[in-house]
């Protein structure tokens, strides 16, 4: 339990002395040099934290724990039902493997400030690669393995890595995904191909290595010497993480070194109520921010045991997989997305597989990535009889904006709310003119008063101007989250959805504009629109509406098949694009604007009033009838 006995005490302490709060939190990090100032408002897009300080994040995650006598504690558990393996690494073993991998990277030309792109499945070497980059002061850029070659190529061009670390394949239920051909294709498309690649050969599907460019991962590590940690500035970048669903211009969120370590370490105790040597399992992917923060960095900074799971909530082998992992490893704190729970609920609605497992070690279940619907929250809460804590944060913030502070004894009071603002954040709802809305039922633009706390995005890679325009300029003095919601009279924050057309598909955000660009590239498509359709499992799935060109030869069925394959090629299977409705016209206003809100209502079968500005009201009924036929 933290030093605070209540949420109110913790938040008031931060409010009374924000800089003192973070300076005290920073005392728990090992620094090579202390800061000149806690916060410098004159640098960066909105300022910088711990300017003048030096540290090494990998040292803080591994070396200091081993030096303190905890080398034999388990640091990482790799649990892979896909590979039929469970492997444990102590802190001493993880340090040894990471230091040698850092030596291998250095021998391939990687040094402080260089970018390393990591395109790997959920294997221990992915965690080691991230930590090895941090050890060298290199900037890692992890790309989710579900992305297609074109998406990967965009990130290569933007980050311009010195090296790419990848694997020969990834594993999915019933199939093996060859990563290496996707990587080769992405590099061939890139305008900035890297001079070297390091490839982990998995026995399920070894890959052909290209002489002179590709190097065998295991052989390189075996031949390397351990590399010591490199001291870097607290304000230097630790990693770049591209937000999913970007358009033609990837948005690379930059995380700094010092503020990131301070914020994440504090969050483990105060927000998650977890302690050193306890077991934390974040059922996510290292390709997303949740994986960066709470599979890799935060648990290791706090000397916990963290679990890396290569599997699915269902199908590996059944809907009891998550509970098996909790029982097998004595999980104390679990973190997953509501999508996973809905998939489990669909296959095991009574929770029979859950009740067969000993979950006595489990203290709390945390949910994020999307708002958890009350029905799912009540279902899992009734089965687990543990706190179910829905909390809200973003790739840009790197750690929770709102939550229940379990470390201060604060637990959720209202199902459907994302909790209260964590110390470090002042959250309000603004109207479209930037005025603060009164607390209550009014929905507005959720915003955070500047400066953002440590650990939040420092900028966008190579583009301070875009960072300002995307987040800071709309409401001067505030960070625009892009989410709509309200702050109620009890200070709980309710996140109602995005303010723009971004779909949340199984916890992953995808831009409708990016998908529409893919559909529009087909020669038979005259115009199109993509909206999110409510789905019991994934939250939303994309539904495409397309109008054929008058000279198109393809029949609707054939066109649909080609569009689904086109989306898979350009966006990736993770987008779950399977539904296409070929329509004679799209509903538009008289000024020619597509009525996407109307399409969303039609997709969900919801009642709505036909807008008076619509150009042709009959189009609505035509599409309603077509969707009815599609559902049947």
The per-residue pLDDT for range 540-597, each reduced to its tens digit, is: 889 999 988 777 888 999 999 999 999 989 888 888 898 999 998 888 765 456 787 7
Please write the tens of the pLDDT for every residue from 468-491: 999 999 999 999 999 888 999 999
Residue 381 has pLDDT above 60, yes or no: yes
Please write the tens of the pLDDT for every residue from 279-289: 999 999 999 99
481 neighbors 448 (Cβ within 8 angstroms): yes
Is 584 part of a structural domain of the chain? yes
pLDDT at residue 588, rounded to an integer: 77
Q: Tell me the C-alpha distance between 151 and 406, whole Å.
A: 38
Q: How confident is the model at residue 527 (pLDDT cuts 50, 70, 90)?
A: confident
Rounded to an integer, the average pLDDT of 306-320 is 95
SS3 at position 153: helix
Residue 196 has pLDDT above 50, yes or no: yes
Q: What's the total number of domains in the chain?
A: 1
456 neighbors 446 (Cβ within 8 angstroms): no
Is 600 part of a structural domain of the chain? yes
Is 594 part of a structural domain of the chain? yes
pLDDT at residue 246, rounded to an integer: 37
Q: How confident is the model at residue 516 (pLDDT cuts 50, 70, 90)?
A: confident
Q: Tell me the C-alpha distance between 97 and 128, whole Å.
A: 7
Is 441 part of a structural domain of the chain? no
Residue 213 has pLDDT above 70, yes or no: yes
Is 409 part of a structural domain of the chain? no
pLDDT at residue 143, rounded to an integer: 94
Q: Which contacts of 518-524 are long-range, i.e. CB under 8 A and separated by 24 or more positions? A: 518/566, 518/567, 518/570, 518/571, 519/544, 519/546, 519/563, 519/566, 519/567, 521/566, 521/570, 522/559, 522/562, 522/563, 522/566, 523/549, 523/552, 524/548, 524/549, 524/552, 524/553, 524/554, 524/559, 524/562
Q: How confident is the model at residue 146 (pLDDT cuts 50, 70, 90)?
A: low
Rounded to an integer, the average pLDDT of 331-338 is 95
pTM for the model stands at 0.85
Rounded to an integer, the average pLDDT of 325-339 is 95
Please write the tens of the pLDDT for every residue from 17-63: 999 999 999 999 999 999 999 999 998 888 999 999 999 999 999 99
Is 573 part of a structural domain of the chain? yes
Give me the half-sphere count of Cα atoms (radius 13 Å) on the Cβ side of residue 84.
2
pLDDT at residue 515, rounded to an integer: 83
pLDDT at residue 603, rounded to an integer: 85
Residues contacting residue 21 through CB under 8 Å, at least 6 positions apart:
13, 14, 423, 424
Residue 247 has pLDDT above 50, yes or no: no
Token pair 């089965």 is found at 383
Rounded to an integer, the average pLDDT of 617-626 is 85
The mean pLDDT of the chain is 92
pLDDT at residue 133, rounded to an integer: 98
pLDDT at residue 320, rounded to an integer: 97
Please write the tens of the pLDDT for every residue from 83-127: 999 999 999 999 999 999 999 999 999 999 999 999 999 999 999
Residue 364 has pLDDT above 80, yes or no: yes
Residue 245 has pLDDT above 50, yes or no: no
Is 606 part of a structural domain of the chain? yes
77 neighbors 306 (Cβ within 8 angstroms): yes
Please write the tens of the pLDDT for every residue from 70-82: 999 999 999 999 9
Owning domain of residue 603? 502-631
Domain CATH code at residue 606: 3.30.300.30
Residues contacting residue 371 through CB under 8 Å, at least 6 positions apart:
338, 390, 392, 416, 418, 495, 496, 497
Residue 212 has pLDDT above 50, yes or no: yes
Residues contacting residue 427 through CB under 8 Å, at least 6 positions apart:
401, 402, 421, 446, 447, 448, 487, 493
Q: Is the dihedral angle over the CA atoms 435, 437, 443, 445 positive or is it negative?
A: positive
Is 607 part of a structural domain of the chain? yes
Please write the tens of the pLDDT for every residue from 154-176: 999 999 999 999 999 999 888 99
Q: How confident is the model at residue 613 (pLDDT cuts 50, 70, 90)?
A: low
Residues contacting residue 287 through CB under 8 Å, at least 6 positions apart:
142, 143, 144, 145, 146
């Amino acid at each position: 339990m933290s030093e605070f006995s209540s949420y109110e005490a913790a938040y008031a302490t931060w409010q009374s002395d924000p800089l003192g709060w973070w300076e005290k939190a920073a005392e728990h990090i090992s620094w090579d040099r202390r800061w000149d100032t806690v916060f410098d408002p004159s640098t960066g897009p909105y300022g910088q934290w711990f300017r003048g300080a030096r540290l090494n994040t990998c040292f803080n995650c591994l070396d200091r724990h081993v030096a303190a006598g905890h080398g034999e504690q388990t640091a990482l558990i790799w649990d892979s039902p896909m590979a039929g393996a469970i492997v444990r690494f102590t802190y001493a073993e993880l340090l040894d493997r990471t230091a040698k991998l850092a030596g291998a990277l250095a021998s391939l030309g990687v040094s402080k400030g260089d970018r390393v792109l990591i395109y790997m499945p959920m294997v221990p070497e992915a965690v080691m690669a991230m930590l090895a980059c941090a050890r060298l002061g290199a900037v890692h850029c992890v790309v989710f393995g579900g992305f297609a070659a074109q998406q990967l190529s965009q990130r290569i061009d933007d980050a311009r890595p010195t090296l790419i670390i990848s694997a020969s394949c990834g594993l999915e239920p019933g199939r093996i995904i060859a990563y290496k051909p996707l990587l080769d294709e992405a590099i061939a498309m890139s305008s900035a191909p890297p001079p070297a690649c390091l490839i982990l050969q998995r026995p399920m599907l070894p890959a052909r290595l290209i002489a002179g460019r590709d190097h065998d991962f295991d052989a390189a590590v075996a031949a390397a010497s351990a590399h010591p940690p490199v001291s870097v500035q607290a304000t230097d970048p630790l990693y770049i993480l591209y937000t999913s669903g970007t358009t033609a211009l990837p948005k690379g969120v930059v995380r700094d070194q010092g503020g990131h370590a301070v914020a994440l370490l504090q969050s483990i105790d105060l927000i998650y109520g977890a302690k050193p040597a306890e077991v934390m399992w974040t059922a996510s992917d290292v390709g997303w921010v949740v994986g960066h923060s709470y599979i890799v960095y935060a648990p290791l900074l706090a000397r916990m045991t963290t679990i890396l799971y290569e599997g699915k909530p269902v199908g590996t082998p059944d809907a009891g997989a998550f509970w098996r992992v909790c029982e097998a490893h004595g999980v104390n704190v679990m973190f997953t997305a509501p999508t996973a729970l809905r998939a489990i609920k669909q296959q095991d609605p009574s929770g029979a597989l859950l009740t067969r497992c000993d979950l006595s070690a489990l203290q709390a279940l945390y949910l994020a990535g999307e708002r958890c619907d009350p029905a799912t929250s009540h279902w899992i809460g009734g089965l687990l009889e543990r706190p179910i804590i829905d909390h809200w944060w973003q790739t840009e913030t790197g750690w929770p904006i709102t939550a229940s502070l379990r470390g201060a004894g604060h637990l959720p009071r209202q199902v459907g709310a994302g909790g209260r603002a964590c110390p470090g954040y002042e959250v309000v709802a603004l109207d479209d003119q930037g005025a603060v809305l009164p607390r209550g039922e009014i929905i507005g633009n959720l915003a955070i008063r500047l400066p953002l706390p440590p650990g939040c995005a420092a900028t966008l890679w190579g583009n301070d101007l875009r960072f300002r325009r995307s987040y800071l300029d709309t409401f001067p003095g505030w960070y625009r989250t892009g989410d709509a919601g309200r702050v109620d009279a009890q200070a709980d924050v309710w996140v109602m959805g995005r303010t723009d057309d971004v779909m949340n598909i199984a916890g992953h955000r995808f831009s409708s504009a990016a998908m529409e660009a893919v559909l529009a590239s087909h020669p038979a498509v005259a115009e199109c629109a993509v909206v999110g359709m409510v789905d019991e499992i994934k939250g939303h799935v994309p539904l495409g509406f397309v109008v054929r060109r008058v000279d198109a030869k393809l029949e609707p069925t054939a066109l649909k098949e080609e569009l689904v394959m086109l989306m898979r090629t350009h966006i990736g299977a993770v987008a779950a694009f399977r539904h296409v409705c070929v329509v004679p016209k799209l509903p538009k206003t008289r000024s020619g604007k597509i009525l996407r809100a109307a399409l969303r209502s039609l997709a969900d079968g919801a009642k709505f009033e036909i807008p008076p500005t619509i150009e042709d009201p009959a189009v609505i009924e035509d599409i309603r009838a077509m969707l009815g036929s599609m559902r049947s």
